[in-house]
Amino acid sequence: MSLLETKDLTVRFGGLVAVDQVSLSVDEGETVGLIGPNGSGKTTLFNAITGLYPAAGGEVVFRGERLTGLETHVIARRGIARTFQSSRLCLQLSTFDNVLIGLYAHLRAGLWTALVRRARFLGEVRSALGTVRHLLELFNPDLVRRGFDRAGELPQIDRRRVEICRALASRPRLLLLDEPSAGMSPEETAELMKDLRVVREEMPGLSLIVIEHDMYVIEGVSQRVVAFNYGRKIAEGPFAAVAATEEVREAYLGREEASSA
Amino acid sequence: MLTVWAAEAGLFVLVVAALLAERPLALTATVAAVAAALALLRLHPGLRRTLSAAFAAHPRAAWFGGAVLALLLPVALRHSPYWTFVATMALLYVTIGQGLNFQIGSAGVINLAGAAFAGLGGYTVGLLTVTAGVPPALALLAGPVVAAAVGALLFVPILKTRGHYLALVTIAFVFIFNILVNNLEFTGGPQGIKNIPTLRLGGHAFTTPLSVLGLTLPYHANFYYAALAMAAVATLAVWRLHNSWLGLALNTLRDDEIAARCSGVPVARQKLIAFTVGNVVIGLGGAFYAVMVGFVSPPDFDFGYSLAMLSVIILGGVDSIGGIVLGACLLIPLPERFRFLHEYRLLLYGIVIVLMLLFRPGGLWPASVRRYGAGGAVSPR
Amino acid sequence: MPAPEIVLQQAFNGLMLGVMYALIAVGFTLFFGVLDVIHFSHGDIFMLGAFAGLALLGLWGAAGLAAAPVVLPLTFAGAMLVTGLVGVAAERACVKPLARSAPLMTLLATLSLGLVIREAILIFYPRGADPKPFPALLPAGGFDVAGVFVRYENLAILGIGFGAMIAVDLVINRTRLGAAIRAVAQDPDAAQMMGVNLDRTVDWTFFIGSALAAIAGILNGLYYSEIHFIMGIMGGVIGFSAAAIGGLGNVYGAILGGLLFGVLQTMAAAFIPRGSEFRDVVAFAVVMLFLIFRPTGILGEKSVERV
């Protein structure tokens, strides 16, 4: 049984069909690359899986249970985490805070403990910070040193890392990465590739779906690639095969270019 | 440690002098001293650093010193029941401010109906004590409960409406509250509710003078100490909530609701919790006001007061626990001290908000990064 | 069920009120269109217009001018100039600088600015706390139509009000300035790239919107024969709600919303027991309900958050 399965998933915005009867599956431990031109529905797919957009048709099944119709925070607690195209960090909060929130579902201390049993609360703070430090250290020990600095003071590549740490903190089974290399230089992209390898090592059973425009990254991390166009899945398979598919080349390059290339 | 205490004592002397100086000589001396102190701080970064370091190194001593001075204030002001009263009002605004700040600053739930929730607390006390004969201490506890319960009416708008619409809904709410208490018979109409009985502790009625260290303090001091306790509890509670997983979740959902959702935060529930906790604290402040002043009437809880509460928050610092204390202590006594300003009070508050938002949106004491109290005290800059 | 003539009469009265609300609402909607902000002090600009009108009337009186056909247009023009300029000043000092930061800031800043304007009138206008009688300058008398008594002054108010709205419509749809306003409302960056001067367009938008508020303010004074420094609060809340009802950014929606609100409020005051006492409560309650259940308005608003 696959970890995640979408069956004929459809998302509509008024008259526009953004995701058109998409069926795909991801197994445990797999990394799937998701490619396609801008506006082909890739991020919308992520949003539908995580419950931010309602499904107009079809369903999403995760670990054997239906996700469609559930609220986003419930889905997150089931074990799906994600990053965003324009990284959504709380820039006014500390780096530690930005990762700590990823632990939210696992934190036990409630209002009463925080108000009245402060020592017990602080115990959980210490252990949570320990987890956070460990995660940040995997990517950049400097982040630990500057853990109480506001996230807004970090450079772009570090912000991406913090976002990934936040996603990892929840110990997800499935991680959705939305264009992690967006806005990065080639050097930073190489760093990102290393980061993704670190993620793999840290959580071997973790499944990933990675939306990317940078084919170098896709080729480097995916075991399987799915290509989108106009909200529909148009190809699936190993990178080389998908990249060579006529329809995929057409989607990116246009009809004439694709045939002449 | 001595540096900390010396600084606090110096501040105390300046404040008391600033409040009490009447004769031209004393007045000039005080103004000169305050100006000199401010100038020194402004022009000597070394001095600021020494002070910051001293306070950061000795947080416990700072708290102790501050507490002692706060307890001694009514003694220093014992010849002026008026200023004791003003100091108590400042503490009241600290309490209410912490509650409102938790809603607006921490959770991003814009609540312009603060005056209505204070009014709910106050009117509950008035109605229970005068109409139903409930002892004031009990009524005091009922006030916040009523405020929180009525606040549930706003649950739906808080969840369904965005920023500026929610603001308008809360404005409508405070106006409806005001018009209703003004026109309904059981709330006493435009006259309000009078003769609210005062608090009693043991046999001691709060309207009798207080004896401390062999000195006689005006009866207002009773309320000052009660308000000090209330403000201290409110501040501590809000601080602990701010530095808890709830506080973290609230800040996150304030800054980026989608990221919060995707991290598993039940956004709706947290917002409602923050809103309710805030209303409990605001309602408590309003209830205390009723017992202290002895009567409540519609003009005491109108939209202008919502804006006054807001100005305390904006001046002090949005989402800043310390900022609220600073904001209340600055904004409440000032129009009282400068008599001519009294008429211009609301105008002043409005100007303060606009200027602060344009030039120092973080407030005079901006919120610092959350440390959960597990390593390093909260310091002003 | 009250007699049809009474219903019609109240509806007609409501239309009077509605015209004034509509003029205020158009301002709100224009401001939202070009800067994506709710200019909360606009209601107090409406009040300022009424007071400016009153002050000017006093001035003309002192100068020996009293004839309505001479004095009215001068008053309108003068008040429109005053509020237009104050509106632009407010925009430049307070609204535009904050337009890029969190919406909460603009909201609080404009709310406070409104407070400042209100308190300034209270404090600085002679005996500002008292309601001030407004001279009756519109023709008296009227005529009967199907059981409804139509006053000439009502016709004048409707005429001036609708005339203003038609003028605004012409400006927005038939002039270059209007085209610029529409362009900025749709996409400020694209508009700039097409050569539109953003700052000047925003300035003009605020001038026009604020001037409309002055017209509403004077009409309000003429209708009720009195003005009060707190009239801006209700005017602002209702004007904003009317604009929201019609869909923020949509001028026709704002007009529709204003008219609707005026009619509804007047009918409610007339036909609900103790309605006139609780007239404002009803208005606010309607506002709340509407904002809660249909916040994007009848004709739809423009804005979407991208994930």
The predicted pLDDT at position B44 comes to: 84
Closest CA to B178 of B305, B293, B279: B305
Q: Which fold has domain A1-79+172-261?
A: Rossmann fold (3.40.50)
Do B125 and B143 form a contact (C-beta atoms < 8 A)? yes
**Three-state SS for B301?**
helix
Vertex A19, ends A15 and A22: CA angle to 5°? Answer: 140
What per-residue confidence (pLDDT) applies to C303?
A: 47
B187 shares a domain with B327: yes
Tell me, rounded to whole angstroms, the distance of Cα A100 from its chain centroid: 17
Q: Do C292 and B346 touch (CB under 8 A)?
A: no
Q: Based on the structure, what is the number of domains in chain B?
A: 2
Instruction: Return d(Cα A73, Cα A51) in angstroms, integer.
Output: 8
pLDDT of residue B355: 94
Q: Name the minimum distance, in Å, from the CA of C307 to any CA of chain A.
A: 8
If we measure between CA atoms, which residue out of A44, A159, A165, A84 comes closest to residue B258?
A84
| A80 phi, psi to nearest 5 deg | -115, 125
Those residues whose C-beta lies under 8 Å from the C-beta of residue C218, and which sit 6 or more positions away, are C49, C50, C53, C75, C76, C79
DSSP structure string for B343-372: GGHHHHHHHHHHHHHHH-TT-SSPPPPP-T
3-class DSSP string for B23-87: CHHHHHHHHHHHHHHHHHHHHCHHHHHHHHHHHHHCHHHHHHHHHHHHHHHHHHCCCCHHHHHHH
Query: Mind telling me how many Å the CA of B295 is from chain A's nearest CA?
Result: 33
Q: Strand, helix or coil at A114?
A: helix
Residue type, A248: V
Chain B positions touching A93 (Cβ under 8 A) are 248, 251-252, 255, 369-370
Question: Is A109 an interface residue toward B (CB < 8 Å)?
Answer: yes
Query: Phi then psi for C3, rounded to 5 degrees?
Result: -60, 145
Token output for C183: 């362009």
Question: Alpha-carbon Rg of chain A, whole angstroms?
Answer: 19
Range of the domain at C131: 4-293
- B126 and B46 assigned to the same domain: no
For residue C144 the two structure tokens come to 């009967």
Check CB contact of A145 with chain B, cutoff 8 Å: no
Task: Supply the DSSP symbol for A51.
Answer: T
Contact indicator for B367, B319 with CB cutoff of 8 Å: yes
As beta bridge partners, residue B270 has none
Q: Check if A114 contacts B (Cβ < 8 Å).
A: yes
CATH number assigned to the domain comprising residue B108: 1.10.3470
Distance CA B330, CA B245 (A): 31
Chains that touch C (3 or more CB pairs under 8 A): A, B
> What is the length of chain B?
381
SS3 B12: helix
A neighbours by CB contacts (3+ pairs under 8 Å): B, C
Residues facing residue A236 across a β-bridge: A226
Considering the domain boundaries, does residue C11 fall inside one?
Answer: yes
How many Cα atoms within 13 Å fall on the side-chain side of residue C187?
6
Which H or E run includes A139? helix A118-139
The pLDDT tens digits for C137-170 are 888 888 888 777 888 888 899 999 999 999 999 9
- What pLDDT is attached to residue A51? 94
Whether residues B123 and B166 share a domain: the answer is yes
Say if residues C131 and C122 touch (Cβ distance below 8 Å). no
d(CA B219, CA B198): 11
Residue C18 to chain A, least CA–CA distance (Å):
33
Number of domains in chain C: 1
- Tell me the one-letter amino acid at C156: A
Give A123: exposed, middle or buried? Use CB within 10 Å, 0-12, 13-18, 19+.
Answer: middle
DSSP 8-state secondary structure symbol assigned to residue A180 = T
**Pair of tokens at residue B125:** 């006390």
**Residue of B102, B251, B263, B370 best to disrupt the A interface, most CBs of A under 10 A:** B263
Look up tokens 């609210």; give the residue. Answer: B196
Q: Give alpha helix (H) positions in chain C.
A: 4-35, 42-62, 68-90, 96-98, 103-124, 152-174, 176-186, 188-193, 198-224, 231-246, 251-271, 279-293
Which residue ranges in chain C fall short of pLDDT 50?
302-304
Range with lowest mean pLDDT among A79-93, A182-196, B78-92, B276-290: A182-196
Summarize pLDDT for C59-91 with one digit per residue, the tens.
Answer: 888 888 778 788 889 999 999 999 999 999 999
Whether residue B155 lies inside any domain: the answer is yes
Instruction: For chain B of 381 residues, list the mean pLDDT of each consecutive stretch of 10.
Output: 86 87 83 86 84 84 89 90 94 97 95 96 95 92 97 92 84 93 90 90 84 86 95 96 96 95 95 97 97 94 92 94 94 84 86 92 92 53 28
Question: Which residues of chain B have a Cβ shorter than 8 Å from any chain A Cβ?
Answer: 237, 240-241, 243-246, 248-249, 251-252, 255-256, 258-267, 273, 369-374
Contact by Cβ (8 Å): B77, B218: no
So what's the pLDDT on residue B23? 82
Q: How many angstroms separate the CA atoms of C158 and C262, rounded?
A: 13
Give the Å distances, CA to CA, from B324 to B38, B102, B242, B272. 21, 11, 13, 22
Which residue from B164, B304, B307 is facing C103, i.e. has the nearest CB? B164
DSSP, res A40: S
The domains of chain A are located at: 1-79+172-261, 88-165
List phi, psi (to 5°) of A194: -60, -40
Contacts of C193 (CB under 8 A, 6+ apart): none
d(CA B222, CA B201): 10
Predicted pLDDT at B379:
28
Is the domain of B15 the same as that of B109?
Answer: no
**Domain-embedded: residue B372:** no
> How much is the pLDDT for C304?
46
Residue whose pair of structure tokens reads 């909460």 in the numeric block: C104
* The predicted structure's pLDDT at residue B380: 29
By C-alpha distance, which of A82, A70, A75, A74 is closest to A44? A82
A201: CB partners within 8 A, 6+ apart: none
- In the block, tokens 């120092």 appear at B360
Nearby residues of A96 by Cβ (< 8 Å), 6 or more positions away: A129, A132, A147, A148
CA-closest candidate to residue C215, choices C164, C255, C174, C252: C164
As given in the structure block, the two tokens for residue C81 are 């100039």
The pLDDT score that the predictor gives to residue B377 is: 32
The SS3 assignment for C108 reads helix
Question: Burial level of C283, CB count in 10 A (0-12/13-18/19+)?
Answer: buried
Beta bridge partners of B182: none
Tell how many helices (H) and how many strands (E) occur in chain B. 17, 4
Q: The domain spanning residue C80 has which CATH number?
A: 1.10.3470
pLDDT tens-digit map of A119-172 = 999 999 999 999 999 999 999 999 999 999 999 999 988 999 999 999 999 999
Total count of residues recorded for chain C: 307
- Do B220 and B317 lie in one domain? The reply is yes
Which range marks the domain in which residue B36 is found?
1-76
Say if C305 falls within a structural domain: no
| Start-to-end CA span in chain C (Å) | 52
> Which residues of C are less than 8 Å from B346 in CB distance?
115, 119
Does residue B369 belong to any structural domain of this protein? no
Quote the tokens at residue B51: 């002070």
Total residue count of chain A as it appears in this document: 261
Judged by DSSP in three states, A151 sits in helix
Cβ contacts below 8 Å, chain A against chain C, sum to 5
Contact call for residues A209 and A178 (beta carbons, < 8 A): no
Whether C245 and C263 have beta carbons less than 8 Å apart is answered as no
